[in-house]
């Protein structure tokens, strides 16, 4: 058989045919191959609402994989180059925080034990989706020999890119934001006043400029607010003040653990139903409590040049209260103890833990002491004069393990033990006739549920499930203790309200009166919108919808 053209020396028969074809490039459309599985997997996750989907970026990536490349070696090289691109694009399409934020936490990750890192990895990988991907891979291998899978995959990508531009087209499976988050006390307990109140429609539609202006106006207003402390009345009955700063406790966590009916919550005199911790990390939470005498600052404003009137413990020291600090851990992780002393105005040593039993170890294998033991030891060492004590407990922190037991300690078991210990200690103070004002102020939640943007236990984004915390107040040693249900503060509030209430307690002879005037003590406490932030992450409600800004970029509705 004679060929139309002579095959040149060293050229394969296929290449010779391609060289003489009117459209030689068309012979090198090889399809997406195994990359079909990549796109099918993403389409399935997007359809289930598990990830977002940037149609244009994925179309460009598919086009890059499809462009004909005659040399086989160049085609293979493209597949290798495409692997890191595909990984980055996949991460970009998830709801997870920007990768830069994860890198910023790398120093903390290095301090975690290998067992805890393995536990975190198991939360990221969903075995349900692993099984679904296995079925998808087998199905693809079965139909690929008979069906050119690339065609429907590319058509699906094109449809997702074009459909939003068509009137009445699809807008994706993202569910609308909710004004009351799942697990909030309004849903979990059915108690009126504990959920988010109806929010009127804003005058302007949400946009980057509108939300930026709203945030800056909030900061400007908060800079003008502070607590004015007054001298204690002459002859007023002395009392101590305890701030119980609890790590990893939110209303949602209590609901997940099934401990909404624990007696400690009914034992409190006052419960703040809509208290916002304003952050989801321990260090900033501790600083916000210690700097509570001023309005809510930005995350950056917590560090450095803080006005002297903002320091709660310094204000109390001027009125005769001696400051002390107790931690049920060593305070070394993330330089927590030094941070409180340097930036929080609490320049006192932590109570020694030498010789104490260690029932639990943390995720970095450091000791965690029992709360009842620590609090009783503080009482035994307490000085004669009035004292204000800062107590921080990490009993509920993710990754804790009981000494001598395998596996991580269950959250509900630790929460019940913590509540039992706190209740036992408070009742002990009551039985001893002590006069103490106790504030239970959680730092942030444990994120037991997780959501689209964060797996369970991750707290990079301070969403409402994490920052909506159960704050309570108990006055021990009153001449006439409170009867009946606790009083509730339903307005949105934060640390300035605690500072104001503290000033009112100190400025009145509350323990010398027949009974406290609760109406006056709780009237018109400062109201603070539920705006929360960590480093480079801000969450702010607008028109009943939570919006998030990452790394200083534009705002977007928080994925519900």
If you count DSSP H runs as helices and E runs as strands, how many of each does the chain have, helices first?
Answer: 21, 14
Total-model pTM: 0.79
Question: Is 95 a member of any domain?
Answer: yes
137 and 234 belong to one structural domain: no
Q: Is residue 173 part of a domain?
A: no
The verdict on residue 132 lying in a domain is: yes
* 139 and 278, same domain (yes or no): no
**Which phi and psi (to 5°) does residue 36 adopt?**
-60, -40
**Alpha carbons 94 and 454: distance in angstroms, whole number:** 10
Is 253 contained in some domain? Answer: yes
- CA distances to 292, 328, 406, 436, 472 from 370, rounded to whole Å, are 27, 7, 19, 21, 21
> 146 and 42, same structural domain?
yes
73 forms beta bridges with none
- Distance in angstroms (rounded) separating the CA atoms of residues 518 and 484: 13
Claim to verify: residue 248 and residue 310 sit in the same structural domain: yes
pLDDT in tens, the chain (560 residues): 333 433 344 444 444 444 444 546 556 677 888 898 999 989 888 887 777 888 889 999 999 999 888 788 888 888 899 999 999 998 888 777 666 655 555 455 555 556 656 655 666 666 777 788 888 888 888 887 888 888 888 898 888 888 766 665 554 444 433 333 333 333 333 333 333 334 455 668 899 999 999 999 999 999 999 999 999 999 899 999 999 999 999 999 999 999 999 999 999 999 999 999 999 999 999 999 999 999 999 999 999 899 999 999 999 999 999 999 999 999 998 899 999 999 999 999 999 999 999 999 998 899 999 999 999 999 999 878 899 999 999 999 998 999 988 889 999 999 999 999 999 999 999 999 999 999 999 999 999 998 878 888 889 899 999 999 999 999 999 988 888 899 999 999 999 999 999 999 999 999 998 889 999 999 999 999 999 999 889 999 999 899 999 876 789 898 87
Angstrom distance (rounded) from CA 290 to CA 337: 13
Last residue within a domain, chosen from 150, 165, 180: 165
Clarify whether residues 234 and 158 are in a common domain: no
Q: Give the integer Cα–Cα distance in Å for 212 and 471.
A: 29
Instruction: Among 165, 189, 223, give the residue marking a domain's end.
Output: 165
Asked whether residue 3 is assigned to any structural domain, the reply reads no
Residues 207 and 137 in one domain: no
Give the residue numbers spanning the domain of 243.
199-557
Q: What residue has token string 């100190």?
A: 506
Last residue of a domain, one of 108, 141, 165: 165
Same domain, 385 and 521: yes
Do 67 and 26 meet the contact criterion of CB atoms below 8 Å apart? Answer: no
If asked whether residues 348 and 454 sit together in one domain, one would say yes
As given in the structure block, the two tokens for residue 289 are 């409590």
Residue 22 CB: number of other CB atoms within 10 A?
A: 5
The kind and range of the H/E element at 372 are helix 371-381
Q: In the structure encoding, which two tokens stand for residue 192, read together?
A: 């009126």
Are 142 and 209 contained in the same domain? no
Domain contains 178: no
Give yes or no for a contact between 496 and 227, defined as CB atoms under 8 angstroms apart. yes
- Which one, of 553, 557, 533, lies nearest residue 179 by Cα? 557
CA 372 to chain centre: 28
Q: Looking at the structure, do residues 161 and 203 belong to the same domain, yes or no?
A: no
Does a structural domain hold residue 464?
yes
Q: Is residue 5 part of a domain?
A: no
Determine the Cα–Cα distance for residues 326 and 309; give it in Å rounded to an integer.
24
Q: What domain count does the chain have?
A: 2
Contact 224, 304 (CB under 8 A): no
Check: CB of residue 527 under 8 Å from CB of residue 493.
Answer: yes
Cβ atoms of 271 and 487 within 8 Å: the answer is yes
Do 127 and 226 have their domain in common? no
- CA distance linking residue 533 with residue 301, whole number of Å: 12
Radius of gyration of the chain (CA): 30
What is the three-class DSSP state of 189? coil
Q: What CATH number is attached to the domain comprising 311?
A: 3.40.720.10
- Is the same domain home to 256 and 382? yes
Distance of CA 373 to the CA centre of its chain: 29
């Amino acid at each position: 058989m004679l060929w139309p053209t002579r095959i040149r020396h060293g050229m394969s028969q296929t290449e010779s045919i391609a060289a003489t074809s009117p459209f030689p490039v068309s012979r090198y459309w090889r399809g997406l191959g195994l990359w079909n599985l990549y796109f099918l997997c993403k389409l399935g996750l997007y359809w289930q609402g598990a990830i977002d989907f940037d149609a244009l970026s994925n179309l460009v990536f598919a086009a890059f994989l499809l462009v004909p490349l005659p040399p086989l070696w160049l085609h293979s090289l493209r597949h290798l180059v495409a692997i890191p691109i595909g990984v980055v694009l996949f991460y970009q399409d998830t709801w997870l925080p920007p990768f830069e934020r994860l890198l910023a936490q790398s120093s903390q990750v290095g301090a975690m034990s290998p067992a805890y890192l393995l536990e975190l990895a198991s939360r990221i990988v969903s075995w349900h989706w692993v099984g679904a991907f296995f079925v998808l891979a087998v199905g693809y291998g079965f139909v690929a020999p008979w069906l050119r899978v690339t065609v429907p995959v590319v058509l699906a990508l094109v449809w997702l890119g074009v459909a939003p531009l068509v009137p009445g087209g699809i807008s994706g499976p993202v569910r609308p934001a909710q004004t009351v988050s799942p697990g909030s006390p309004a849903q979990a307990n059915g108690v009126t006043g504990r959920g988010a109140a109806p929010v009127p429609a804003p005058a302007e539609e949400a946009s980057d400029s509108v939300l930026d202006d709203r945030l800056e106006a909030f900061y400007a207003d908060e800079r003008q607010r502070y607590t004015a402390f007054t001298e204690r009345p002459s002859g007023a009955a002395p009392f101590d003040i305890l701030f119980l700063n609890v790590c990893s406790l939110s209303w949602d966590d209590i609901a997940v653990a099934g401990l909404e009916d624990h007696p400690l919550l009914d034992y409190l005199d006052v419960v703040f139903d809509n208290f916002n911790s304003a952050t989801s990390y321990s260090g900033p939470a501790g600083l916000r409590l210690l700097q509570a005498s001023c309005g809510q600052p930005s995350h950056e404003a917590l560090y450095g040049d803080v006005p002297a009137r903002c320091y709660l413990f310094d204000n109390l020291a001027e009125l005769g209260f001696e400051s002390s600090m107790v931690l049920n851990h060593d305070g070394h992780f993330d330089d927590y103890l030094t941070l409180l002393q340097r930036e929080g105005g609490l320049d006192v040593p932590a109570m020694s833990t030498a010789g104490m039993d260690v029932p639990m170890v943390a995720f970095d294998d450091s000791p965690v002491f029992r709360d009842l033991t620590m609090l009783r030891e503080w009482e035994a060492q307490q000085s004669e004069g009035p004292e204000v004590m800062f107590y921080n407990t990490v009993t509920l922190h993710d990754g804790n393990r009981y000494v001598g037991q395998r596996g991580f300690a269950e959250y509900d078991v630790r929460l019940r033990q913590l509540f039992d210990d706190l209740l036992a200690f408070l009742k002990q103070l009551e039985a001893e006739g002590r006069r103490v004002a106790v504030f239970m102020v959680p730092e942030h939640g444990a994120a037991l549920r997780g959501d689209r943007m964060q797996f369970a236990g991750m707290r990079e984004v301070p969403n409402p499930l994490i920052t909506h915390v159960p704050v309570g107040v108990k006055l021990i040693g009153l001449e006439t203790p409170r009867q009946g249900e606790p009083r509730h503060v339903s307005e949105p509030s934060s640390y300035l309200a605690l500072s104001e209430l503290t000033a009112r307690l100190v400025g009145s002879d509350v323990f010398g009166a027949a009974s406290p005037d609760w109406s006056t003590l709780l009237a018109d406490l400062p109201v603070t919108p539920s705006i929360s932030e960590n480093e480079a992450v801000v969450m702010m409600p607008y028109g009943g919808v939570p919006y998030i800004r990452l790394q200083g970029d534009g705002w977007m509705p928080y994925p519900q």
